[in-house]
């Protein structure tokens, strides 16, 4: 058994505990309480005191693309042109980077997560296996969604689905207790109706988690509602058959039965009241990615409405090419500030509910709320320890406020997944040689530049 204590323990499921402690045995939390209570319960066990810090459930990054971490800062010049951005990224990922490069970059991204107190990822990968292996190598938890290829045409849907299923089943065979496989039909503008239907039926029948990019941009909305714009041009040019659904992306997913699979919907920037009702009624979930949305100028998603409708919502960093950091505290802060600054806001989002979104919300978004997201006896010992010692955080009057408005990933001191240390500031207790991965990353970037 191990016991950690700190100035604050923030269980999320109950009020913060001052001078708190948490006891865990192997991967499971045994008890949470004040230091005095825990000492009384387990007088024989030594306590490691973490001092002026907050122990909270590990952060959940509900939407990432670890396999494109090497593209951090590489395509920023195309940020104002999402389609060129996507095409350049796809080209470099497919043509310049080797499989080994992609793997090492994905591992670097997972290490970045561990440093940031992220214990669980909802990761989407065109290659799938790279994100999967990265989480395993670093010792993190997650669901890795095997993504579809560009497949807007119903005529190739059945063949495309067979290939996708093969890749998904290969991932599933290498699942561990911590890392599970799902499927990601990429988006309504790259996946045709029939392939969506195939995936939805398969997911429901086999209890497979799915995640979809949806209602992200005006371009997507234009294509769905009117059948015009950039993607319509691509379909025409290359002879893809495409029928305009003449409705929103969310209505489209509803009609195709995709919402019945309770998908994790990434972005949801362009959503109507009707869309939100459909999401809520179907128990679909949202990965809110405020920084990625802002970096592309896609707009501000109605985060306050997500919370007010009690839609299961977590934060996502999106890829490092579109953010460019994996920092869930920063994501949370952006989300709050954007929401508070909208003229149409009805209320001020509060720090407590936002820290809950960053932890328990993400767990719910990934369907893992029975295992992680709060500090309670019986749950997994997935912990993030955020130091509160920095001068820029003092004084701490309210721990939620200090975490949300005055802390970031670089304040994280210790990260545990299933009771195992995956990151300790200044320590050696890591599962992977970080220096080696960093030096490989420098090599990769040299090659990308030339
Ligand atoms: Zn994404």
Beta bridge partners of 122: 143
* Cα 24 to averaged position of ligand 1 atoms, centre (Å): 35
293 CA → ligand 1 middle, Å:
10
| pLDDT tens over the chain, length 450 residues | 999 999 999 999 999 999 999 999 999 999 999 999 999 999 999 999 999 999 999 999 999 999 999 999 988 888 788 778 778 888 887 788 899 999 999 999 999 999 999 999 999 999 999 999 999 999 999 999 999 999 999 999 999 999 999 999 999 999 999 999 999 999 999 999 999 999 999 999 999 999 999 999 999 999 999 999 988 998 998 999 989 999 999 999 999 999 999 999 999 999 999 999 999 999 999 999 999 999 999 999 999 999 999 999 999 999 999 999 999 999 999 999 999 999 999 999 999 999 999 999 999 999 999 999 999 999 999 999 999 999 999 999 999 999 999 999 999 999 999 999 999 997 765 788 999 999 999 999 998 887
50 Cα–ligand 1 center, Å = 35
Whether the full predicted model's pTM is greater than 0.85, yes or no, is yes
**Distance from the CA of 126 to the center of ligand 1, in angstroms?**
11
124: CA distance to ligand 1 center in Å?
Answer: 7
**Residues forming a β-bridge with 61:** 121
According to DSSP, the residues that pair with 180 across neighbouring strands are 143
- Compute the distance from residue 214 Cα to the ligand 1 centre, in Å: 10
Q: How far is the CA of 289 from the centre of ligand 1 (A)?
A: 9
- For residue 221, the Cα-to-chain-centroid distance in whole angstroms is 23
CA of 22 to the centre of ligand 1 (A): 35
Distance 226 CA to ligand 1 centre (A): 24
User: Ligand 1 centroid vs 292 CA: distance in angstroms?
Assistant: 9
Cα of 26 vs centre of ligand 1, distance in Å, is 34
**Res 111: pLDDT:** 96
Whole-angstrom Cα distance, residue 416 to residue 226? 48
In this prediction, residue 310 carries a pLDDT of 98
pLDDT of residue 426: 79
How far is the centre of ligand 1, averaged over its atoms, from the C-alpha of 13 (Å)? 29
Contacts of residue 357, defined as CB under 8 A and 6 or more positions apart, other chains included, come to 288, 307, 313, 314, 315, 332, 335
User: How confident is the model at residue 186, as a pLDDT?
Assistant: 97
Quickly tell me which residue has 């997935």 as its tokens.
382
pLDDT in the model for residue 429: 57
d(CA 63, ligand 1 centre) in Å: 6
Looking at residue 398, its pLDDT comes to 98
Give the burial string for 412-440 (b: 16+ CB within 10 Å, else e): bbbbbbbbebbbeeeeeebbbebeebeeb
């Amino acid at each position: 058994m191990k016991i950690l204590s700190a100035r604050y323990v923030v269980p999320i499921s109950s009020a913060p505990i001052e001078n708190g402690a948490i006891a865990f045995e192997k991967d499971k939390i045994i008890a949470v309480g004040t230091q005095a209570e825990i000492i009384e319960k387990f007088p024989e066990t030594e306590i490691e005191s973490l001092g002026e810090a907050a122990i909270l459930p590990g952060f959940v990054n509900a939407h990432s693309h670890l396999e494109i971490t090497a593209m951090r800062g590489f395509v920023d010049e195309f940020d104002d042109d999402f389609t060129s951005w996507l095409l350049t990224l796809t080209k470099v990922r497919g043509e310049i980077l080797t499989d080994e490069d992609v793997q090492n970059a994905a591992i670097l991204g997972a290490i970045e997560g561990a440093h940031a107190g992220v214990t669980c990822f909802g990761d989407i990968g065109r290659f799938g296996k790279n994100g999967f292996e990265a989480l395993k190598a670093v010792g993190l938890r997650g669901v890795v969604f095997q993504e579809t290829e560009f497949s807007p045409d119903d005529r190739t849907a059945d063949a495309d689905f067979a290939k996708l299923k093969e890749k998904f089943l290969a991932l599933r065979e290498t699942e561990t207790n911590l890392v599970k496989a799902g499927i990601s039909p990429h988006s309504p503008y790259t996946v045709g109706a029939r392939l969506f239907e195939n995936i939805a039926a398969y997911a429901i029948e086999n209890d497979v988690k799915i995640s979809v990019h949806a209602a992200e941009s005006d371009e997507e909305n234009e294509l769905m509602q009117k059948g015009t714009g950039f993607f319509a041009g691509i379909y025409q040019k290359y002879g893809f058959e495409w029928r305009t659904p003449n409705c929103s992306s969310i209505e489209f997913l509803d009609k195709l039965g995709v919402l019945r699979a309770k998908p994790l919907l990434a972005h949801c920037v362009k959503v109507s009241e009707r869309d939100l009702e459909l999401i809520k009624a179907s128990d679909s979930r949202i990965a809110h990615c405020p920084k990625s949305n802002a970096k592309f100028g896609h707009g501000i998603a109605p985060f306050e409405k997500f919370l007010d409708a009690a839609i299961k919502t977590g934060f996502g960093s999106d890829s490092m090419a579109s953010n460019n950091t994996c920092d869930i505290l920063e994501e949370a802060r952006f989300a709050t500030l954007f929401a508070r600054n909208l003229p149409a806001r009805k209320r001020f989002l509060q720090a407590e509910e936002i820290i809950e979104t960053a932890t328990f919300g993400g767990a719910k978004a990934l369907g893992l709320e029975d295992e992680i997201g709060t500090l309670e006896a019986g749950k997994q010992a997935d912990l993030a320890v955020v130091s509160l010692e920095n001068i820029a955080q003092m004084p701490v009057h309210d721990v939620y406020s200090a975490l949300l408005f005055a802390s970031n990933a670089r304040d994280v001191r210790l990260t545990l997944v299933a009771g195992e240390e995956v990151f300790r500031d200044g320590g050696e207790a890591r599962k992977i040689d970080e220096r080696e991965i960093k030096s490989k990353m420098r090599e990769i970037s040299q090659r990308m530049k030339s």
